[in-house]
């Protein structure tokens, strides 16, 4: 959707996303950190646009249906052999 993303800074998200490049990561379970992230993005249009582009690019690189379909095809082919 090319929208800026705020996500919890968890090991899984850190493996996939990069803070201030493809998402705005904040401390999980910390409502103040989430509020600050929302305020930061609300007040910084260029950061929102940058994160939206970066997040979309990351999706296309590793999470798109085409990428996942190819990974599954490889796994299934390996299992069949």
* Domain contains 25: yes
What value does the mean pLDDT take over residues 62-69? 94
Question: Domain containing 14: what range?
Answer: 6-80
Total domains in the fold of the chain: 1
* Domain contains 1: no
* Domain contains 19: yes
Q: Report the alpha-carbon distance of residue 15 to residue 32 in Å, rounded.
A: 24
Tokens 């940058």 appear where? 50
* Domain contains 59: yes
What value does the mean pLDDT take over residues 43-54? 97
Q: Rg of the Cα trace of the chain?
A: 16
What is the pLDDT confidence band of residue 1, given thresholds at 50, 70 and 90? confident
CA distances from 73 to 6, 53, 61 (A): 31, 28, 17
Q: Report the alpha-carbon distance of residue 42 to residue 57 in Å, rounded.
A: 22
Tokens 């992230």 appear where? 37
* Domain contains 73: yes
Taking the complete model, does pTM exceed 0.85, yes or no?
no
């Amino acid at each position: 959707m090319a929208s800026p993303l705020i996500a919890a800074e968890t090991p899984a998200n850190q493996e996939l996303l990069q803070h201030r490049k493809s998402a705005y990561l904040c401390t999980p379970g910390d409502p103040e950190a989430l509020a600050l992230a929302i305020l930061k993005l609300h007040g910084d249009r260029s950061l929102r646009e940058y994160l939206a582009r970066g997040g979309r690019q990351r999706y296309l690189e590793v999470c798109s249906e085409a990428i996942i379909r190819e990974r599954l095809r490889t796994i299934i082919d390996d299992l069949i052999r």
